Structure 1
Amino acid sequence: MAGLISKVFKAKWLLLGIALVLLLVWILRPFLDVFVYGIFVYYITRPIKQWLSRYIKNEGILVSVSLLMLALPLIILIAYTLLVGMSQLMAVVNSYGLTAALPSGPLTNMTTSFSQLHSNLTSGNFTLESVTDITRQDWYKTISGYSGNLPLLQAIAFSTGSTIVDIAFKLFIIFLVGFYMLKEDAHMQRWFAGTFPKLMDEHNRLLPRYASAVDADLQKLFFGNLLSIVFFAIIAAVVFEGLSIFAPVPSLQIPSPILLGILCGVSALIPIVGMWLVAGPLFLYLLISSLIAGTLFTHFGYFLFMVLAIFVFVLTIPSFVIQPFMARGQVHSGLLMFAYVLGPLVFGISGLFLGAIVLVLVTHYFGIVVPEMAAEGQESHDFDL
């Protein structure tokens, strides 16, 4: 008993440090998604900062300009595209009675209400032509006509567990985390190396090698891969939406264009076939639906125009412009695709980034740490023999 007390006394500072770390983790646990977004902001903004550092020498101004140039517009764009795409997915699932087969999660709950609100708003008869002629009574009638959507807005707010103040506060923390990671990343690396020199040197500098590999792959995934997927998805969604708007008949309209655009972006991860996995069935669907409706030959010119537009603007040009920036590092493309698809369904929007982070950490743990420890264990065993 005395020996145990003596060991505890000698390890008192280590135990206090562990307790403080656990306390800090417990305090920050509700803000896990915020820090995930902050890490994403850091990695997508770091190359912009490195490029702008040739022209801006003040570190604070450099980081601020980098964030305003890329991170803020991109986050808004990703959030909106993902919400609209998920609302269209929920509409498709509900139409085929497959709601029970879809995993429940924060994003699924939120997009159920969002899809209802979106359909209600888009089905209204309000037109911009009469804006200048609207009287006070007309404004009241117009706004009260949409009052049925207020409970849905409230449902969206509660389904995300957020209020306007909470969202604003979290956005502030996200950019604050990204700002200080961009500004102090080199300083934090030097502090860690100086504070834990033995930890840095043990096992043939295993920790620096592991951290460097994780950092490099997260950079590739977030700035190269994920941004490429986002741009692929946006380009495809815009093309699909435009073709649907100008379609002369319903049989030539593209169903759920935003959702198909997102699927095009994700399918770009798959080598060789890539977005053809989405475009091919889409061409077949348009062909069959127009044949059944008897509109294919009467609007054959527009059908050819759709095929040509999708082939050029969705399948060809983005591949030449964006594909060179896509890099998967050491992460398997199939696992990465599952992380991007299943992550948001399980963890909400933050799962789009959290799934990739966990996948990178696990991949390099089994690719770097496990072989190194196994090799040391084998050497020790051979030495004992």
Structure 2
Amino acid sequence: MIDEMDFERSRTLWWALTVALGGTLGVVLYSYVGTFVFGLFIYYAARPVYRRLRLVVERPGLAAAGALFAFELPFLAVTGYLLFLAVRELERYAGAGAQVVAWVLPIPTTELERAIDSPRTYVSSFDVASLTEVISTGGDVLGPIATFVLHFSLAIALAFYLLRDGDRIANWFHDEVGHDSALSTYASLVDRDFQVVCFGNIRTVVVVALLALGVYNGLNVLAPPGLKIPIPNVLALLTGVATLVPIVVGKIVYIPTTAYLAVVAIESDPQTLWFPIVVAVVALLVLDLFPIMVVRPAFAGQSTHRGAMMFSYIFGGLLFNWYGVFLGPLLLIATIHLVRVGLSELAHGDHITAEITTAHGLGSMPRPDGDPPDETTGDTDTAAE
């Protein structure tokens, strides 16, 4: 009797410790859910590259670093290219460029124009009060940038350790739940389909950027004199990146561009207003509705119902802010496979098995033993690998 009481007391203490630590971890994840979900996205986007590197690189850490470098290098190159072109445009069109920057940042337009026209004279005119104001304004500007860099670095670190230690995590999980268990099948299906979503998002950005490149440069061929789309190549890159933003998609790029063209047309020749209208219509159809309804569901929902995937992006963005574009599809995939693997058995009181019993066409099917992994996305039958 005493031994049984000690046993129950010990189990109660361990369960209390587990609940306390699990709750604390849950609070941390909830507080930084955007960073965590973005780290998962980076992990899944870099995993195909990592698995190919592992064929030739023996050390997992080195392969993980190489995969993340391959993921970050295009991002850094595009960012540097955009900054270079932005500075060049500001130097060429000081007034208009300063107005745009002042609209985004809390810096007076006159100050920007003075700094661009004569940087040396502008700096030499500083006194203590001016320096204090500049430092204060710089803090307001650099604060959000520093926060972004911090969260981006945390997401990269999370992706690195998931890549490096994924095999051990997967082996531990399968050993605990059983390789032929329903939980193992469920996790494998979620892992595989979310891999398709993340890899599809990367391809969507590339396809939309190429479409925007053709659209903007093609429209410039038809543009009236003096009313061409400015820096079309930069806008094309921004439009591709903007597809990661739910709902907004290309609107964040082509609406300001169309408004700028309309203002120029009104000031120069109102009869050329037809061109901004054409730009708005073409951009809406090709760079907005087409990516939302066709490109993204096709690339990021190859194994999941395309209509459901489209709504997951829309409602994910509405409910969860910017990271909803990653969290929405993850929740959809997790829910779909819960229905496919276990919900019917739970509803009927049957034993839950690893068999797919319902909704066969909503997601991918378990692979027969021995089938090779998908060479397109690099996924395997292991979860969290």
**TM-score, normalized by the shorter chain, greater than 0.5:** yes
Native 8 Å contact 2:316 2:328 kept in 1: yes
Counterpart for residue 232 of structure 1: 207
Q: Distance in 2 between matches of 1:378 and 1:59?
A: 39
Q: Distance in 2 between matches of 1:154 and 1:377?
A: 61
Counterpart for residue 15 of structure 1: 16
Matches within 5 A, 1:148-167: 162=144, 164=146, 166-167=147-148
Distance 1:157 1:137, change over 3 A: closer
Q: Which moved more, 1:333-342 or 1:38-47?
A: 333-342
Counterpart for residue 218 of structure 1: 194
Q: Distance in 2 between matches of 1:51 and 1:263?
A: 26
Partner residue of 1:333 out of 301, 306, 311: 306
Native 8 Å contact 1:232 1:264 kept in 2: no
Letter in 2 for 1:334: G
Matches within 5 A, 1:247-258: 247-248=223-224
Structure 1: gaps of 5 or more residues: 82-112, 267-274, 280-285, 380-385
Displacement, 1:153?
7.4
Identity %: 23
Q: Distance in 1 between matches of 2:74 and 2:61?
A: 20
Q: Distance in 2 between matches of 1:265 and 1:358?
A: 20
Question: TM-score under structure 1 normalisation?
Answer: 0.58
Displacement, 1:209?
0.8
Displacement, 1:252?
7.4
Native 8 Å contact 2:105 2:141 kept in 1: no
Q: What is the Cα-based RMSD across aligned positions, in Å?
A: 5.6
Q: Does 1:206 align with 2:182?
A: yes
Q: Name the structure where helix makes up a greater proportion of residues.
A: 1
Q: Distance in 2 between matches of 1:337 and 1:296?
A: 34
Letter in 2 for 1:136: R
Displacement, 1:221?
0.5
Displacement, 1:37?
1.2
Partner residue of 1:184 out of 165, 179, 186: 165
Matches within 5 A, 1:335-374: 335-374=308-347
Q: Distance in 2 between matches of 1:150 and 1:326?
A: 46
Counterpart for residue 26 of structure 2: 25
Q: Distance in 2 between matches of 1:114 and 1:259?
A: 22
Q: Distance in 2 between matches of 1:339 and 1:141?
A: 54
Distance 1:338 1:327, change over 3 A: closer
Displacement, 1:114?
9.7
Native 8 Å contact 1:240 1:261 kept in 2: no
Displacement, 1:327?
5.0
Structure 2: gaps of 5 or more residues: 83-100, 245-249, 255-260, 353-385
Native 8 Å contact 2:209 2:237 kept in 1: no
Q: Distance in 2 between matches of 1:75 and 1:354?
A: 24
Displacement, 1:184?
0.8
Native 8 Å contact 2:174 2:184 kept in 1: no
Superposed CA offset, 1:207-261 (max 9, x none): 011001000101100012x112211232234444445667335877699x67994
Q: Does 1:136 align with 2:112?
A: no
Native 8 Å contact 2:209 2:241 kept in 1: no
Displacement, 1:64?
0.7
Native 8 Å contact 1:340 1:356 kept in 2: yes
Secondary structure of residue in 1 paired with 2:224 = coil
Superposed CA offset, 1:260-307 (max 9, x none): 9469958xxxxxxxx9xxx9xxxxxx9xxx9x965599x9xxx99x9x
Counterpart for residue 40 of structure 2: 39
Displacement, 1:135?
6.0
